[in-house]
Amino acid sequence: MDSYHAEPWGLYLVRAADAPPYRYTETWLLPTPSIRVTMHHVNAAHDRDPIYHIYIGKFARIEPKRWRAEYHYIDVVARNGHVPELRGVDELFAAHAAGHVSADIAQHAFEQATAVVDGIASHDHNFERWMSTQGITLHWL
């Protein structure tokens, strides 16, 4: 089941999960909003109430078949119809204090994470509705 393909707005990957109870994981690397979106699945049936794990960072195609992904310690967990949850702020600040992340990157990551929360909230707490306003149509198994 491991596969990937590129779309104009990002890179899609699906692979077998490495941690029970999940059976497979789907991920989109999306350079323009600077996010990686992941869904974990217990079974092959499409989840009726998906949980989106949205990781903040830098994601970019650097060659036709080569991508770079850099995670910046902060993420958002979202379910349609629910208030998104911002996670990892303390890890981001600790990484900055330890010198692993510059002040500019930490500030950008925090601002991007709050923009994700705001974007989802401003579209009736619907992640994919927010993505569609940016010209991004995500598809899942």
Single-letter amino acid, residue 141: L
Give the pLDDT confidence of 90-133 residue by residue, as tens digits.
Answer: 999 999 999 999 999 999 999 999 999 999 999 999 999 999 99
Confidence class for position 23, pLDDT limits 50, 70, 90: confident
Distance between CA atoms of residues 120 and 4, nearest Å? 26
81 within 8 A of 88, measured Cβ to Cβ: no
Cβ neighbours around 55 below 10 Å, total: 23
